Copies of this chain bind each other. A is one copy, B any other.
Amino acid sequence: MGRISDTREQIMDRAAQLLMSRGFNGFSYRDISSHLGVKNAAIHYHFPAKTDLALALVDEYRRILRKGTSEFMAYGGSALEQLEGFFIFTTKQCHVGRCICPFGAFSVDYNELPDDLRDATQSFMEESIKWLTRVMEVGRTEGEFSFTGDPRVKAVTVLAALQGARQMARIHGIELLNDVVAQVRQDLGLAT
Q: Report 22 cross-chain contacts, Cβ distance below 8 Å, ordered by A residue.
A: A23-B109, A25-B25, A103-B171, A104-B107, A104-B167, A122-B172, A149-B182, A149-B183, A150-B179, A153-B182, A154-B183, A156-B179, A157-B180, A159-B164, A160-B164, A160-B168, A160-B180, A161-B164, A163-B164, A163-B167, A164-B164, A187-B187
The count of chain A contact residues (Cβ–Cβ below 8 Å) is 51
Partner of A26, one of B100, B112, B121, B187: B112
Partner of A125, one of B103, B106, B159, B171: B171
Complex alpha-carbon distance, A31 and B108, angstroms = 17
Interface residues of A (CB under 8 A from B): 21-23, 25-26, 98, 100, 103-112, 118, 121-122, 125-126, 129, 147-150, 153-154, 156-157, 159-165, 167-168, 170-172, 176, 179-180, 182-184, 186-187
Partner of A161, one of B103, B107, B161, B186: B161
Complex alpha-carbon distance, A157 and B183, angstroms = 7
**Which residues from B are CB-within-8-Å of A149?**
182-183, 186
Q: Are A105 and B104 in contact (CB under 8 A)?
A: no
A133 to chain B, nearest CB (A): 12
**Which residues from B are CB-within-8-Å of A168?**
103, 107, 125, 156, 159-160, 163
Q: Are A22 and B163 in contact (CB under 8 A)?
A: no
**Which residues from B are CB-within-8-Å of A118?**
171
Other than the given A22-B108, A23-B109, A104-B107, 20 more pairs (CB < 8 A) read A22-B111, A25-B26, A26-B108, A100-B108, A104-B104, A105-B108, A106-B171, A108-B108, A108-B167, A149-B186, A153-B180, A154-B183, A156-B179, A157-B161, A157-B180, A157-B187, A159-B164, A160-B163, A160-B164, A163-B164
